[in-house]
Amino acid sequence: MLSLKTEAELQALHTEGVRESLHLEYKASAAVDKKDDKRKLEMARDVSAFANADGGQIIYGMTEVEHDPAGLDEGLDSKDYPEIWFEQVIQQHVSPPIVGLRPYHVPLTSGRVAVVIDVPASKGDPHQVDGRYYRRHNFNRLIMEHYEVRDSFRRATTPDLFVALSFLEGNQHALRFPGSDEESRPFNLIAHIENRSPQPAFHVVVDIGIDADFKIVSRGDFTQFTSDEQVEQTSLSWLRWTLAAPPGQPFFKEYPRLVSENVIMLSINANDIRTQEILDLTVRVVAPGCSRQENWSIVARGPRLTLYPPSSDHTAKRPVS
């Protein structure tokens, strides 16, 4: 999930044009009203839809126009709307309760707060509100079909693997170019894997497709292979990591860990980020009963790289305003 702990980080969503997506939704402060039961129910529906899909974040206090962030509004009074109020309202309407739900305040310079709700993906049975099951799809909240509800009840019997990427410093990295050399110093791309199901994964394959503008300095424990697969017509360099247990240790939900202790190292030529500000990454993880592929993005602003999780708005090849 995105780090959204400060007003500056929320403002960056607006200035960098981070659109709503499968994992992100913007809501104006007016969507919250403790006296309005319909709005409380809408909040519970939205949160349950994220939990029944792949998890995500809802930001109260950010206006939007056609799924684009339009800037922070006046925010909410933290005394009228403490963090615990959001959790109580949501859990009151959602069954079964969402484990790991986390609403928190983000202080604004106005003296009020925006509210971010981190919603984990459900690890067990799906969640219902007012007798219905909802799920997040692209920008929308949909009522789940019967087969989707049935499959959700079955997911606890198969692994549910998710791979998250990061730099050594988190989701941002400052490139360094020694002397007059146009090639940046190598930096780490780290892959963490999590199993959200109680069913362990004993055999796993992780493929990472890296924008061909990056130079792979070190593959770590990955092997390189050839594929014609592209993202938004972008050529990718493909790396693969495999696990077989035994002798390896299976992935189980209580123990998220690195895909590989020997991380991937990349570098990039300065000319490539002068002409292209969005670079693509694709992550695919496969195990018996589980298959997931997601597109990540790296936004380059001068020497600063920012890594974004799966989101259709950043995988598109467009300039960053």
pLDDT tens for 42-98 read: 999 999 999 999 899 999 999 999 999 999 999 999 999 999 999 999 999 999 999
pLDDT for the residue 255: 86
| Alpha-carbon dihedral sign for residues 55, 124, 92, 137 | positive
Q: Is the pLDDT of residue 272 over 90?
A: no
User: Which has the closest alpha carbon to 143: 131, 134, 156?
Assistant: 134
pLDDT band at 319, cuts 50/70/90?
Answer: very low
pLDDT for the residue 321: 36
For residue 115, what are its two tokens? 């509210």
For residue 160, what are its two tokens? 């549910």
pLDDT tens for 291-318 read: 999 999 999 888 889 999 885 444 434 4
The pTM of the full predicted model, rounded to 2 decimals, is 0.55
Q: For the chain, which domains are there?
A: 7-156 (3.30.950.30), 161-315 (2.60.40)
pLDDT tens for 190-249 read: 999 999 888 899 999 999 999 999 999 999 999 999 887 766 667 899 999 999 988 889
pLDDT tens for 113-127 read: 999 999 998 877 899
pLDDT for the residue 155: 66
For residue 45, what are its two tokens? 């529906």
pLDDT for the residue 196: 82
pLDDT for the residue 315: 40
Three-state SS for the chain is CCCCCCHHHHHHHHHCCCCCECCEEEECHHHCCCCCHHHHHHHHHHHHHHHHCCCEEEEECEEEECCEEEEECCCECCCCCCHHHHHHHHHHHEECCCCCCEEEEEECCCCCEEEEEEECCCCCCCCEECCEEEEEECCEEEECCHHHHHHHHHHHHCCCEEEEEEECCECEEECCCCCCCCECCCEEEEEEEEECCCCCECEEEEEEEEECCEEEEECCCCEEECCCCEECCEEEEEEEEEEECCCCCCECCCCCEECCCCCEEEEEEHHHHHHCCEEEEEEEEEECCEEEEEEEEEEEECCEEEEECCCHHHHCCCCCC
The greatest distance separating any two alpha carbons of the chain, rounded to the nearest whole angstrom, comes to 64
pLDDT for the residue 153: 77
pLDDT for the residue 87: 95
pLDDT for the residue 310: 82
pLDDT for the residue 197: 82
The chain-wide mean pLDDT, for the chain, equals 89
